[in-house]
Amino acid sequence: MTPSPPASSGSAAAPPPSPAVGLEPPAVQRIFESLSELADDASVPRNIRRGAQSARDELAKPRVALDVRIASAVYVLDDLANDPNLPTHGRTAIWSIISNLESLQ
């Protein structure tokens, strides 16, 4: 007989809140769109697309201060920019996004 899982406190886990992209400054919205374009670009490797999505998710966290979200996104993108498999146009896009993020800080 296997032990049963521990009982929960009575409520199911709530789904994560949706990003409040419409409430951000226009510059952040443009960066968010650039990250979405990079994440959807089939000409870059899959790990770069996943990383762009991760940076986008970091930037969209609703309850975190903007400067912390920017720093987290820059950290993720900096790692991606150093990937040797990244095509030149992808590297340029990442550098541009990093530059735009750093101008907001």
* Distance between CA atoms of residues 41 and 62, nearest Å: 26
Instruction: Look at the block and give the residue holding tokens 């650039």.
Output: 34
Q: How does pLDDT run across 73-99, given as a tens digit for each residue?
A: 999 999 999 999 899 999 999 999 999
Topology annotation, domain 22-104 = de novo design (two linked rop proteins) (1.20.1440)
| Strand stretches in the chain, DSSP E | none
The domain limits of the chain are: 22-104
Question: pLDDT at position 25, please?
Answer: 79
Question: pLDDT at position 27, please?
Answer: 86
The pLDDT confidence band at residue 105, using thresholds 50, 70 and 90, is confident
Structural contact between residues 51 and 79, judged by C-beta atoms closer than 8 angstroms: yes
Identify the CA nearest to 48 among candidates 74, 86, 100: 86
The DSSP letter of residue 32 is H
Q: How does pLDDT run across 7-59, given as a tens digit for each residue?
A: 544 544 444 444 444 567 788 889 999 999 999 999 999 999 999 999 999 99
